[in-house]
Structure 1
Amino acid sequence: MMHRVTHHHHHHHHRSLSRQLIFLDVPSDITIDVNGVRFALHKFPLVTRSGRIRKLISEHRDAADTAKIELLNLPGGPETFQLAAKFCYGINFEITTANVAQLCCASDYLEMTEEYADGNLSSRSEAYLDDVVCRSLEMCVQVLQQCETLLPLADELKIVSRCTDAIASKACAEQIASSFSRLEYSSGRLHMNKQVKCGEDWWIQDLSVLRIDLYQRVIEAMKCRGVRPESIGASLVDCAEKLLKRKPVLGARAGASAEAIEREEKTGLPDLERKRLCKLIDFHKLSEEASGHAAQNERLPLQAIVQVLYIEQLRLRNALCCSCSEEDRKTAPQSRSTSNGMFSAGLSPRDNYASLRRENRELKLELARMRLRLSDLEKGHACIKQDLEKSNSRKLILSVSKRFRKLKLI
């Protein structure tokens, strides 16, 4: 979406050539250098809108007729300054998500505020940000991408915080709306739940384009707003997958040494980004579906996979403890202690890649065995319940005893 900046006073005759503005009707009396690009302009339209240029020109009063000014580190560079200069001359242009962050920062740098002129560039760009961008999650993401090269000024002007808060609010509102949809269409619950699940978290893929530090800010805002942990976890997994796409497949070569594997690992996602992403994930809060997806994703760091598998292992143990006999409950703490020690060793910095791979395989095997046993227990429980509903005779008691003896032998 675009917003046209319009002016109602006299327009100077002009011509735009690449990055320079050249006005033919009146000779220029000021040259402004922005990152090596020179703009031949006029003092009057600039000083009426820009406090910074007004101050710089006042310092060159004793100089030659044509003043020369250099603007160092202007946010957005020559392209953004050209838009600011057009604004000073009353030339129409479009404010869009591709330039609004730059215009906000440049207008602050140039001091193009209401103090110098009504409806100045600062208030125009701020209005577009608040009234247009913050109403759309997609537009907020696009503006955040533009902020990557404008930090820390974009942070100081609260452009980042406004966009992250707007994204979190939109995601939260979507979940509330989907909850009402589930209540409203409870008669077709299974069908509706399937539709809502696909639609309510449509924003997940949009966030993965953000740089990791800005993505982290969005996630923190979502936590504060009360967005469901399952949705946040799904977003983190999606982001991790996309960040790790360029990561090479490790250990693909037969007989590769541990040192060679470590070197290959370092050529993928930078360690800093990998650590930041893993720190964001609270694996205990992931749903079983999200945990299962993460455990099978070979592109995630092994430490993360081992942690997910370990947590899933504990979940299954707890389920088994509720279904098993007292004898099974006594053996569970011993096994848990062993696994916990193995897990700690797996995450120790001293352990190498091969050790993690081995623990990963062991956890997967144990999880498979536990799932099989839990499935058998559930089947046995279902049969017992069926028998209880049919009859209360002594034959049933004998049948139940036989079933429990059979379960103990599994």
Structure 2
Amino acid sequence: MACMKLGSKSDAFQRQGQAWFCATGLPSDVIVEVDEMSFHLHKFPLLSRSGVLERLIAEASDDGEEGCVIQLSDIPGGAKAFELVAKFCYGVKLELTASNVVHLRCAAEHLQMTDEYGEGNLITQTEIFLNQVVLRSWKDSIKALQACEDVLAHADNLHMVKRCIESLAVKACTDPNLFGWPMTDRGPMQSPGGSMLWNGISTGARPRNASLDWWYEDVLSLSLPLYKRLISVMESRGIKEEIIAGSVTHYAKRFLPGLNRRQSMSGEHSTRLVAVAIASAPSEEEQKHLLEEIDGLLPMQKGVASTKILFGLLRTAMILRASPACVSNLEERIGMQLDQATLEDLLLPTFSYSMETLYNVECVQRILEHFLVLDQATGGASPCSVDDGQLMGSPSLTPITMVAKLIDGYLSEVAPDVNLKLPKFQSLAGAIPDYARPLDDGLYRAIDIYLKAHPWLTDSEREQLCRLMDCQKLSLEACTHAAQNERLPLRVVVQVLFFEQLQLRTSIAGCFLVSDNLDGGSRPLRSGLMGGGPNEGGWATAVRENQVLKVGMDNMRMRVSELEKECTSMREEIEKLGQGKGVWRSVPRKFGLKIKSQMCSAQEGSVSDQKAAEKTKERRNGKHMRNLSVDG
């Protein structure tokens, strides 16, 4: 730390208990009392440097009392600052540093120690040191600003706080690699050119480059009011919002221990950091006030702060019962970048005794609403479209699809909670637009878990819940599971069977198309093989692929046959029920079984036609072989 030496005389001050004495050989003729300390001094050195002391000494002498006693109870910096002032008046050697210059400057102003009472007085000396030494150094400016906290009102009147903050803001906004400061301030082991020295010899090694967050740790020593003023000046100077947000969150981690509990920390250094944080942790009320101030300092912009940090702030705000405005702002910030969150982030426990659910579903609902509003405002487009009941195009991982997948996973986690009411579950699941889910497998899983955990739901409530998913958007595996799921309403099972058979029919038709293309392309391969051409390997490959396709088609035919049997059996059971009660006679038509029957008949016709075509082809091949034998 830089310093400036004043005075030339040896130190003649001696302390005895709560009193200071100046051993100059002359008896003391004035006593100056500051707080609980008394200074036994001489009048002339004091009144020749200070206008206030000159006036007070004159007033005390006019009273005619024995001994001149002066009370200085309001001097900035207290007894420690006046001790340095007294040494300066006597010309004793002392050092001005970044830590004491603020107190001395305020005390000199308070005592009117101007050049009128002596050339090169204390005001002039402290101003020179401030402007030429302290404000040119980052670390010294930090120390001086810290010292301003003890005499904040006096330092503000002298614009010392403003000057220190301006100096820090300028340095923080400038790339430190351009000038080699502040972390590379010139020291005894560094040459003027910036290279490191070993035993006074330049090694040519340069200090490592500094990142843009080099100043985060240094400003942690500032109190919240001074830190807020520093951040405000930095913003006015155009520093990037990402850098501001990084500093604010770093400051929050230092004084909000709750933010560090969810982070994995290991090693001796991490243990020491945790111990320091716990030892210096402020009270809950102070943490609450700090959190609300941090919320005001964070820029309201997407991506400037990590989603995990924002969730940590929100969780801490709920624990500390911060103001509703603070909680709402944090929810809005998270909603702006919900697509960057993880399932673990969303699992916010309920900290209120009035809510029965294990997780705060209502908070997640509000966060999702903020995201959807922003997505609509920015023109969020559908990642895929539906045409004639079929999904067209391949969905991309857009933010809305990522959020839909995240919410489906969250619903699966909260579904086992028996206290989660059906309207809350439906509201959160139904908030996602239809186009955001390319497949409804995740939603089906969440609904199935909810039905299993809530077996007391009525049939109407089950049907109402199942309307949230689109059976047409279930994968083949999900359809197979749903068709055998006893927890689903009968109407939903019939719909699932219908769409499952539709998917199988489409797949079989596609396989037939591929097979026909292979058969059409086999003729030139066969002719090439008979002619001894180079297509022998291609023909063998085509034959193997055709065999694989035929095996696949046989498996599909068996699956279609099983589904037809299940459909026929279900139809017979429903008809039996309809014979007992007239109200059930309309059930087959209502549940779409007529369509199912037509579907099965059409499928049977398709399979029969295919078998007939195969037999015709075999007869033709046999006739052709007989003709070849006769010709031979």
**Matched residue, 1:22:** 21
Aligned-partner SS, 2:226: helix
Q: Which moved more, 1:52-61 or 1:268-277?
A: 268-277
- In the TM superposition, residue 56 of structure 1 has moved relative to its aligned partner by 0.7
Give the AA of the match of 1:116: Y
**Matched residue, 1:103:** 104
**Matched residue, 1:306:** 331
Q: Please give the root-mean-square deviation of Cα atoms over the aligned residues, in Å.
A: 3.8
Instruction: Decide whether the 8 Å contact of 1:20 with 1:82 is kept in 2.
Output: no
**1:232-276 deviations in whole A, cap 9, x for unaligned?**
1100000111111278979xxxxxxxxxxxxxx972534333322
**1:114-158 deviations in whole A, cap 9, x for unaligned?**
121111111111221111111122221222111112121111111
Separation in structure 1 between the aligned mates of residue 174 and residue 79 of structure 2, nearest angstrom: 39
- Taking a change above 3 Å as real, the CA distance of residues 67 and 247 of structure 1, as seen in their structure-2 partners, is farther
Separation in structure 2 between the aligned mates of residue 285 and residue 150 of structure 1, nearest angstrom: 39
* Aligned positions of 1:94-133 closer than 5 A: 94-133=95-134
Separation in structure 2 between the aligned mates of residue 218 and residue 82 of structure 1, nearest angstrom: 32
**Matched residue, 2:212:** 200
Separation in structure 1 between the aligned mates of residue 54 and residue 89 of structure 2, nearest angstrom: 13
- Taking a change above 3 Å as real, the CA distance of residues 170 and 12 of structure 1, as seen in their structure-2 partners, is closer
**TM-score relative to the length of structure 1:** 0.65
- In the TM superposition, residue 326 of structure 1 has moved relative to its aligned partner by 7.5
Give the AA of the match of 2:298: I
Q: Which moved more, 1:219-228 or 1:12-21?
A: 12-21
**Matched residue, 1:272:** 289
Structure 2: runs of 5 or more not aligned? 180-207, 263-281, 319-326, 339-370, 387-394, 408-423, 440-632
Aligned-partner SS, 2:257: coil
**1:326-383 deviations in whole A, cap 9, x for unaligned?**
889xxx8xx9xxx9xxxxxxxxxxxxxxxxxx99xx89xx8xxx8999xxxxxxxxxx
Instruction: Decide whether the 8 Å contact of 1:19 with 1:82 is kept in 2.
Output: no
- In the TM superposition, residue 2 of structure 1 has moved relative to its aligned partner by 3.7
Instruction: Decide whether the 8 Å contact of 1:19 with 1:78 is kept in 2.
Output: no
**Matched residue, 1:6:** 6
Structure 1: runs of 5 or more not aligned? 179-194, 251-264, 340-357, 374-410
**Matched residue, 2:149:** 148
Instruction: Decide whether the 8 Å contact of 1:244 with 1:268 is kept in 2.
Output: no
Select which of 295, 317, 340 maps to 2:310: 295
Instruction: Decide whether the 8 Å contact of 2:34 with 2:73 is kept in 1.
Output: yes
- Taking a change above 3 Å as real, the CA distance of residues 297 and 310 of structure 1, as seen in their structure-2 partners, is same
Give the AA of the match of 1:306: E
Aligned-partner SS, 2:286: coil
- In the TM superposition, residue 209 of structure 1 has moved relative to its aligned partner by 1.8
Matched, 1:90 2:91: yes
Instruction: Decide whether the 8 Å contact of 1:6 with 1:91 is kept in 2.
Output: yes
**Matched residue, 2:52:** 52
Matched, 1:281 2:298: yes
- Taking a change above 3 Å as real, the CA distance of residues 372 and 105 of structure 1, as seen in their structure-2 partners, is farther
Aligned-partner SS, 1:143: helix
Separation in structure 2 between the aligned mates of residue 295 and residue 372 of structure 1, nearest angstrom: 29
Separation in structure 2 between the aligned mates of residue 372 and residue 325 of structure 1, nearest angstrom: 7
* Aligned positions of 1:316-335 closer than 5 A: 317=375, 321=380, 324=383
Instruction: Decide whether the 8 Å contact of 2:18 with 2:37 is kept in 1.
Output: yes
Select which of 255, 258, 273 maps to 1:243: 255
Specify the structure having the higher radius of gyration (Cα).
Answer: 2
**1:156-181 deviations in whole A, cap 9, x for unaligned?**
11110001000000011127949xxx
Give the AA of the match of 1:165: E
Separation in structure 1 between the aligned mates of residue 306 and residue 11 of structure 2, nearest angstrom: 63
Aligned-partner SS, 2:31: strand
Separation in structure 2 between the aligned mates of residue 282 and residue 116 of structure 1, nearest angstrom: 51
**1:3-30 deviations in whole A, cap 9, x for unaligned?**
233335x768543446643123000000
Give the AA of the match of 2:216: I
Separation in structure 2 between the aligned mates of residue 237 and residue 204 of structure 1, nearest angstrom: 10
- In the TM superposition, residue 323 of structure 1 has moved relative to its aligned partner by 7.0
Q: Which moved more, 1:277-286 or 1:156-165?
A: 277-286
Give the AA of the match of 1:282: P
